[in-house]
Amino acid sequence: MALLEVDDLSVTFARRGQRAVHAVDGVSFSVDAGEVVGLVGESGCGKSVTSLAIMGLLPKQPGLRVGGKAVFDGTDLLQLDDRSRRDIRGRDIAMIFQDPLSSLNPVIPIGLQVTEVLTRHRGMKGAAAAKEAAALLDRVGIPDPKRRLKEYPHQLSGGMRQRALIAMAVACQPRLLIADEPTTALDVTIQAQILELLKELVRDSGTALLMITHDLGVVAGMCDTVNVLYGGRVVETARRRPLFRQPRHPYTVGLLGSVPRLDAGRGEKLNPIPGSVRDLLPWPDGCAFAPRCARRIDECVGEPPQLVHTHDGRSYRCVNPEPVPGTVPAPREEEQA
Amino acid sequence: MFRFIVRRLLQLIPTLFGLSLLLFIWLRRLPGGPETAILGERGTPEMRAAIRRNMGLDEPILVQYGRFVRRMIKLDLGTSTSTKRAVTTEFIERFPGTVELTITAMIIAIGVGIPLGYLAARRRGRFLDHASVGGSLIGICIPVFFLGYVLKAIFSENLHWFPSSGRQDPTLGATRVTNFFVLDGLMTREWDAAADALWHLVLPAIALASIPLAIIVRITRASVLEVLNEDFVRTAEAKGLTEQTVRRRHVLRNAMLPVATSIGLLAGGLLSGAVLTETVFAFSGIGAFVAEAIGQRDYPVLMGFILIIAVVYVLVNLLVDLSYSFIDPRVRVR
């Protein structure tokens, strides 16, 4: 059984006098123990909302409705009361966020921000907690950890801050780590370091990783399985290699095609997907991607496309998928080793 | 930290120098000059000349200013023209009352305002939120003297819970040490005197606290609402911390920064603005005394008052800046 099984998850924000906004509209995917799973899509496709819904961290406001299931190790997270959720968060499921500066409390030393997790979930206090915190900082590659414990977030560099956040997330050896765009706010060189660190931690501890990103380079370098999200639904699921070699959904094809390439000629134009994510959710009659789709046919309008499962364990939501063999070569093959 | 305090205290010197210049000019520019201020309109030319000679007003202006500054440094603020006593003595007797009143009012305003503002933010859009926002609006609108009379009518004249005026029951014959009546009672172990002084403080302090309370509620509420949306609060929640830890360690502390600033400004304002409250409750503090001095054109008293308030403002703001550096390491002083 999968470690995390998200089934038909939907999130709507309703406001009095306004049409309800569907941020996530029936997302299903699963994460196996120790697996690295990618959740990929453009801004506004519902990636972050999905992760926050799983964690129970969506802003509590009237009109928020979360439907479906998110079963973690046999328990439906969405049905838990606030206390049980707090027990699981940080201990069994931990999360890393996008902007390391704003994600750290500016007025509290790094040390306390690490030890408070240890105190909460592992009952560690005082010197023992401080020692463990220093060991954690050391493990995520922060030099001179004892001194850093006394410092404040503004005294650390961006990469160090993200390392500190990772240290807090892995403090209780969670079984699932959710990383929401963990490298977006960082310099490219630092990005590579952080991804390398995450990879290493996942490999060493056997923690499963749900990687939320819009960056296909991150996916190519890390993920075992990839879920492509569009308009609040998963439109394609596949293992990494087949996905890059033979994308079936036209949206995945578009995503891969829009990555700028170094080996492209100077005069060659970039290749974006035309249009933008429409906020026409729930899915209208037919495919939400149809208005932007290059392979659009008459059948695309009318019925929303069903998920098609193929014999090799892939699935896609399209009535006119890209034919096999795929036309787009897998990028950066050498990085996948 | 120590150097910061010294530096800020040294900043008092140019502030006071500037102020002394202003006061000096003000004194010179009075219609008819200081002698008119003392004699009124009826003085004969001979009397005016005598006063000018007595006060050294016939000497060169720089010499006069030098003497003015020298007296200020020696804390000699002259003699009150209405009570004929040294201004310094009057202040030593009356200022402690106002300080006591202000401190009590601020304790009430902070002690009630911050929790109320926090709760309003957490229950945003619900009854308590609307009630405290609406209530704080009323608190700002109601004139202090009116609230004072209402409090007096209800709690003192009808219910007889609190005394209606004064700082202490004179029949107790309490010993005076610092003129801070509550403190005196504690120091001399005259517990009944201390309790009585505290009892006298309740109603005027509530009246005086109404406006700062309302402001603190609103600032705290706005500030907490802002902090609740911060990413680091989400991080704290993601760590599975208890609601109490999230609230105390992550939300409240960050929300306190703007509140600390406003508390400093409000406290300074109360010290100089307790006039109405003191008048309503016949509370012998500096406010009522100064109000009288304005009517009597008692310039030495007014000058001394302005100087003291300036010093107090600088000191209170120093305290605020220091508290800032405790709350926020990013502005930690060097």
Nearest by CB to B254, from A107, A117, A168: name it: A107
- Indicate whether B180 pLDDT > 70: yes
Contact call for residues A214 and A43 (beta carbons, < 8 A): yes
Transcribe A229-241 into DSSP letters: EETTEEEEEEEHH
Is A91 at the interface with chain B, CB within 8 A? yes
C-alpha A305/C-alpha A286 separation (Å) is 6
| Nearest C-alpha in A relative to B246 | A116
- For an interface test with A, give the residue of B226, B233, B235 to mutate (most A CBs within 10 A): B235
Task: Please list, in sequence order, all residues whose beta carbon lies within 8 angstroms of the beta carbon of residue A161, skipping any fewer than 6 positions away.
Answer: A100, A101, A103, A104, A153
Query: Does a structural domain hold residue A116?
Result: no
Measured distance CA(A222)–CA(A333) in Å, rounded: 12
| Superfamily of B91-331 according to CATH | MetI-like (1.10.3720.10)
Spatial distance between the Cα atoms of B208 and B190, rounded to a whole number of angstroms: 27
The rounded distance, in Å, linking the Cα atoms of B208 and B148 is 8
Strand-pair category, A315-316 with A233-239: antiparallel
Chain B residues contacting A, CB < 8 Å?
125, 229-232, 234-243, 245, 249-250, 253-254, 327-330
| pLDDT-above-70 percentage for chain A | 93
> Whole-angstrom Cα distance, residue A102 to residue A156?
13
Instruction: Quote the pLDDT of residue B322.
Output: 80
Instruction: Dig out the tokens for A214 from the structure.
Output: 């819009």
Give the pLDDT confidence score for residue B303 in this predicted structure. 81
Which of B231, B240, B241 is nearest residue A103 as measured by Cβ atoms? B231
Q: Do B236 and A105 touch (CB under 8 A)?
A: yes
Write out chain B residues lying below 8 Å of A55, CB-based: 238
pLDDT score at A290: 81
pLDDT one-digit tens code per residue, B199-231: 888 888 888 888 899 999 999 999 999 998 899
Please name which of B218, B225, B216, B226 lies closest in space to residue B260, comparing C-alpha atoms.
B216
| Segments making up each domain of chain B, as ranges | 2-73, 91-331
Average pLDDT over residues A153-163: 90
The CA distance from A284 to A278, in Å, is 11
- A327 assigned to some structural domain: yes
- Chain A CB contacts of B259 under 8 Å are none
pLDDT digits (tens, 9 = 90+) for B259-292: 988 888 888 778 777 778 888 888 888 887 888 8
Closest CA to A24 of A55, A2, A45, A5: A45
* Interface with chain B: mutation pick from A87, A103, A178, highest number of B CBs within 10 Å: A103
A15 touches chain B (CB under 8 A): no
A114 to chain B: closest CA residue: B239
- A136 and B CB contact within 8 Å: no
Helix B299-327 to helix B253-273 angle (10° resolution) is 170
Contact A116 B241 (CB under 8 A): yes
Helix intervals (H) in A16-109:
47-55, 82-88
- Domain residue limits at A273: 1-92+172-337
A38 touching B, CB under 8 A? no
Contact B210, B147 (CB under 8 A): yes
Q: What percent of chain A has pLDDT over 90?
A: 31
Contacts of B234 in chain A (CB under 8 A): 57, 97, 103
Q: Do A55 and B238 touch (CB under 8 A)?
A: yes
Whether residue A306 lies inside any domain: the answer is yes
- Higher-pLDDT residue of B250, A59: B250
Number of domains in chain A: 1
Block residue for tokens 């307790």:
B274
Task: Tell me how close the Cα of A163 comes to any Cα of chain B, in angstroms.
Answer: 14
Least confident of A231-245, A300-314, B22-36: B22-36
Is A120 contained in some domain? no
DSSP 3-state of A273: coil
Query: Does some domain include residue A121?
Result: no
- Which of the listed ranges A31-35, A43-47, B27-31, B35-39 does the model predict with the highest average pLDDT? A31-35
CATH code, domain with A51: 3.40.50.300
Q: Is A132 left (phi over 0), alpha (psi -120 to 50) or beta?
A: alpha
Average pLDDT over residues A307-335: 69
- State whether B231 and A99 contact (CB < 8 Å): yes
Q: Mutate one of B239, B249, B330 to test the A interface: name it (highest A CB count within 10 A).
A: B239
Nearest residue on chain B to A87, alpha-carbon basis: B240
pLDDT band (50, 70, 90) for residue A329: very low
What are φ and ψ of residue A242, in 5° steps?
-60, -35
Instruction: Work out the end-to-end distance of chain A between its first and last CA atoms, rounded to an integer number of angstroms.
Output: 28
Inter-residue contact A11 to A49 (CB < 8 Å): yes
Burial of A204 (C-beta count, 10 Å sphere; 0-12/13-18/19+): exposed
Give the mean pLDDT of A82-98: 91
Instruction: Give residue B211's identity as a one-letter amino acid code.
Output: I
Contacts of B285 (CB under 8 A, 6+ apart): B94, B95, B97, B98, B101, B167, B274, B278
Min Cα distance A94 → chain B (Å) is 7
In the structure, what pLDDT confidence band is assigned to residue A332 with cuts at 50, 70 and 90? very low
- In a domain? residue A8: yes
Q: How far is B214 from chain A (nearest CA, A)?
A: 26
Q: B239 contacts in A (CB within 8 Å)?
A: 89-90, 94, 116-117, 120, 168
- Here the ipTM equals 0.85
Q: Is A330 a residue whose pLDDT tops 60?
A: no
Of the candidates B231, B239, B249, which has its C-beta nearest A108's C-beta? B249
Length of chain B as a residue count:
334
Cβ of B234 within 8 Å of Cβ of A168? The answer is: no
> Which of A38, A127, A46, A51 has its CA nearest to residue A93?
A51
| Residue A55, domain member (yes or no) | yes
Residue A294 near residue A250 (C-beta atoms within 8 A): yes
Of the candidates B309, B110, B318, B129, the residue with the CA atom closest to the CA atom of residue B225: B129
